[in-house]
Structure 1
Amino acid sequence: MPHVFLCYDENDTGLIEDIVARLRIAGFSDTYDSVAISRQADWPTAVEQAIGNSFAVIILLTPEAISNPLIVYARGFARADRVPIIPVLYRDGVDSSWLGSNYIDLTEQANIKVPDLSEIIAAVRRTYDQFAGAVPETPSAPANKGDNQPALGRENGSSDFFSQTPGINDILRDHEIVDPEPSREFLSPQSDDPTLKIWLNESLNKLQNGDTRERIDAARALGDLRDSVAIDALLKALTDFSIQVRKAATASLGHIKNPRAIPGLVEVLESPESDSELRETAALALGNIGHVDGIAPLQQALNHDGEMFVRISAARALGMIGDPSASSVLSGVIRGARYNRLRRAAVLALGEIGNAAAIQDLLSAISDDDEEVRRDAALMIIKLWGPRALNQSLLHYDWRVREAAAWALGETRSPDVVPQLVEMLGDEDRVVRQSAVWALGSIGDALAVPDLLQRLELDRNARVLWLTIWALGNIADPTAIPALSQMLIDDDEGMREAAAKALGKIAHPNAVPPLRATILNEFIPKVQMAAIEALSQIHDPQVVQILTQALEDENAEVRQTTARSLQMIGTPEAIEALNRWRGRNSRDQI
């Protein structure tokens, strides 16, 4: 199967892991990862290869992600290569040109650890069906090149991304990509669309009479259409000889969300002939339907199924249903389950249910031996009772509890918790201080800058210092420039690199002189490259001149980074300097 390419900022790894897990359950096991690709020296080539092997690109949109050169490049290349893009808005502050008219909005769920990912998975399914040729195009999709219909996911007359991003046309031209056009982004089907009615009838026919591949595709398509007319056909498909057809039908019944499907799904969940993945899918389908009739069989599976992942899916499903009657069995799992991942699933489910009586179990879970369980318990407490409910945990004798509480406060992204976190900066344990610093940087409120600057001066732990530099860059307050400039001459090359990146995020003209000095005097190429990339983020007339000098550096990687930076700046002056340099040098010298 072709791949899904995941583009995101490294701070959102946790959500991406959840998306990957859901994609695997849905049958999409092959993925590319923008953060992993960014570690490769020749990442533009790696991006092109990944997109060439992908049928869809998911972009997790945050202010940090859209300023990432790799993600900017990947989006441009995907659109030029007509690879469908599924935009997922995860945090506010993203320019509307990145969204199009169809996007998935997770902003209201960004402060919790368990957002509903079903819409993303459904969009991937639809995209794959179109890629595989199983689904006819809707009237709003472009038919053939030259037709006058608008591209899917864009409005007539909307501004084009390529005209708004300086330098992107030149990057694409360098790779012999001509006439970039927008890709098809996903479309949410509308049940009153006559074309979709035809699609529905064709899918019903294929589910009954098609070959195995056609039956699988038809079962998935019927779930995406979410039409109750398909229920009987999908219930019949639960006995299909192909397990893949049964799995697709099971998942689709969950998408349709009609309680009529519950008895059939319960039979799949309880059948000894169902394999573990099929039982997982049945459990999640019952959760999607959200009816109380699914609670008893899910509780039975949670307590007695022999496969851990089925039990995890049962816990998640109980959380999705959200009925308080499931709280006691989930609390029992938190207290007594052997497997960390199962306890974690129970914590998240209990948080989703929101039963007030669960606070003691969640407070106890903050002392769990597993870090993820502790952190998720803290998150659920904040979700249900607010940040102040963690005040006692911030004073707990066990550093692990304090760390989990600090981390969870950071996940809220709320300026209201900054005073609580500032108090944690002086904690005796380095790991607690690390979490507090990370949390303040994630929130990005300038109120924390004086205390972070003090931590930069006083702390002796390297990881705390590195995170403090990162946090100051994320907050992007120009008052931090003098302290960060001083870190550019630190003995540790990692600190110097982090300081350069932080100054690039602040992007203030006052950072130009120290970054220039680093580019010209630094002897570690990766620090030079960080300073070059940082400088390219600053709008200042000196920048192009400084980067033009850096094109003559003796290190090839430094020269290549400088060339890319000038390309991204994209002003006539920058392109002229780059072309002059290319004209003077052979390919080997470049």
Structure 2
Amino acid sequence: MVHRLHRIYVLIFFFIVIYAPAALKAAKNHEQLIKQLHHSNASKRQMAVIQLADLGRNLDNAGLRDTVVVELKETLADPDREVRRSAVKALGSFAHESVGEALRKRLRVEDDTRVQLALITVLGNFKDTSAEAMIAEFLTHEIITMRIAAVRALGRMNTTYAQGVILASLNDPIEGMRIAATEAAGNNALYDAVPFIRKNCTDGVIQVRKISIEALGELGSASEMKFLERIRDNETEESVRALIDQSITSIQKRLQNNRTD
């Protein structure tokens, strides 16, 4: 009994000496950063957002971590767009149920394209299907980057609607849209996209060809393997031919595994 109590006292002492100072320091840093969030200088507020997010991710105290999330959500309404954008990116690293709701709410009223881009990206990373309709509105945005971001975000959600967007975007005249759609099709194993991807394997844009050939290696069957063998002879770019060989090998291995299963 005496030895057991001794061990308990040692553990308590160890906690006080090692962990308590660190916890107190974290709490103090938290208070200082909260104050800095209200500084008149936007650059200082932005730095506080970045540091607060870093602090929150490394906190063992769940209550304190939740407080960080609350403060960051409030910063989404900061008058400076760069502060808002930093807040969006910071919140993207927190798996907190209220974060998605706050980001969707901000997307409804946000008018700065750089902040909108960050919001779309984070909501896509969250696979937040509740934001699907709002993000879909950006598919016709005048800025190409916004349209591409919308395709990428919807591609991560992989809903029935998103799959339709991916298929349509595979034929888009803008190469960035075709690339984003092809990546999404490959990541989501969207086999309905294979005919469109085959077509893009001979696209005039090298990057479109590359990403399409890689996707075909992930999704293709024996028919696609023969197709890749045919187009290899007509491909002038050595780097593209190398990707064709890799994709052919990937399909061969997959077919072999299917036969042995």
- The answer to whether residue 94 in structure 2 is matched with residue 412 in structure 1 is yes
- The answer to whether residue 244 in structure 2 is matched with residue 569 in structure 1 is no
Question: 1:322, 1:439 → 2: CA distance?
Answer: 31
Shift of 1:412: 1.3
Shift of 1:428: 0.8
SS in 2 for 1:568: helix
- The answer to whether residue 173 in structure 2 is matched with residue 499 in structure 1 is no
The answer (yes or no) to whether the contact 2:45–2:83 under 8 Å persists in 1 is no
- Residue of structure 2 in register with 1:322 after alignment: 22
- Residue of structure 2 in register with 1:430 after alignment: 113
- Residue of structure 2 in register with 1:368 after alignment: 43
- The answer to whether residue 72 in structure 2 is matched with residue 401 in structure 1 is no
Shift of 1:453: 2.1
Post-superposition CA distance 1:426-481 (Å, at most 9, x none) = 41111111111121122233333333222223x22233233223323333445312
The answer (yes or no) to whether the contact 2:92–2:122 under 8 Å persists in 1 is yes
TM-score for the superposition, normalised by structure 2: 0.72
User: Where does structure 2 lack aligned partners over 5 or more consecutive residues?
Assistant: 1-14, 58-64
- Residue of structure 1 in register with 2:9 after alignment: none
Post-superposition CA distance 1:201-243 (Å, at most 9, x none) = xxxxxxxxxxxxxxxxxxxxxxxxxxxxxxxxxxxxxxxxxxx
- Residue of structure 2 in register with 1:153 after alignment: none
The answer (yes or no) to whether the contact 2:30–2:52 under 8 Å persists in 1 is no
**Identity, % of aligned positions:** 22
The answer (yes or no) to whether the contact 2:127–2:153 under 8 Å persists in 1 is yes
Post-superposition CA distance 1:373-415 (Å, at most 9, x none) = 5333355468341534334322222212221221122111445
Question: 1:372, 1:540 → 2: CA distance?
Answer: 51
Shift of 1:291: 4.4
- Residue of structure 1 in register with 2:204 after alignment: 523
Shift of 1:355: 6.8
Change (3 A) 1:415 1:500: farther
Written as runs of structure 1 = structure 2, the 5 A alignment for 1:284-363 is 291=17, 321-324=21-24, 326=25, 352-353=26-27, 357-358=31-32, 360-363=34-37
The answer (yes or no) to whether the contact 1:500–1:515 under 8 Å persists in 2 is yes
- Residue of structure 1 in register with 2:7 after alignment: none
Written as runs of structure 1 = structure 2, the 5 A alignment for 1:128-527 is 291=17, 321-324=21-24, 326=25, 352-353=26-27, 357-358=31-32, 360-364=34-38, 367-369=42-44, 373-378=48-53, 380=55, 383-385=65-67, 387-414=69-96, 416-426=98-108, 427-457=110-140, 459-520=141-202, 522-527=203-208
The answer (yes or no) to whether the contact 1:393–1:401 under 8 Å persists in 2 is yes
- Name the larger-Rg structure: 1
SS in 1 for 2:78: coil
Question: 1:569, 1:372 → 2: CA distance?
Answer: 48
Question: 1:415, 1:516 → 2: CA distance?
Answer: 40
| Counterpart residue type for residue 470 of structure 1 | R
Change (3 A) 1:370 1:544: farther
Question: 1:476, 1:460 → 2: CA distance?
Answer: 24
Change (3 A) 1:545 1:423: farther
Written as runs of structure 1 = structure 2, the 5 A alignment for 1:65-144 is none
The answer (yes or no) to whether the contact 1:425–1:455 under 8 Å persists in 2 is no
The answer (yes or no) to whether the contact 2:36–2:45 under 8 Å persists in 1 is no
- Residue of structure 1 in register with 2:215 after alignment: 534
Shift of 1:416: 4.2
Question: 2:256, 2:232 → 1: CA distance?
Answer: 12
- The answer to whether residue 232 in structure 2 is matched with residue 551 in structure 1 is yes
The answer (yes or no) to whether the contact 1:566–1:574 under 8 Å persists in 2 is no
Change (3 A) 1:353 1:412: same
Question: 2:30, 2:210 → 1: CA distance?
Answer: 52
Question: 1:364, 1:491 → 2: CA distance?
Answer: 46
Question: 2:52, 2:68 → 1: CA distance?
Answer: 13
| Counterpart residue type for residue 375 of structure 1 | I
| Counterpart residue type for residue 363 of structure 1 | L
TM-score for the superposition, normalised by structure 1: 0.35
Post-superposition CA distance 1:173-218 (Å, at most 9, x none) = xxxxxxxxxxxxxxxxxxxxxxxxxxxxxxxxxxxxxxxxxxxxxx
| Counterpart residue type for residue 438 of structure 1 | T
Change (3 A) 1:551 1:386: same
Tell me: higher relative CO, structure 1 or 2? Use CA pairs within 8 A at least 6 residues apart.
2
SS in 2 for 1:460: coil
Change (3 A) 1:359 1:369: closer
The answer (yes or no) to whether the contact 1:567–1:574 under 8 Å persists in 2 is no
The answer (yes or no) to whether the contact 1:477–1:506 under 8 Å persists in 2 is no
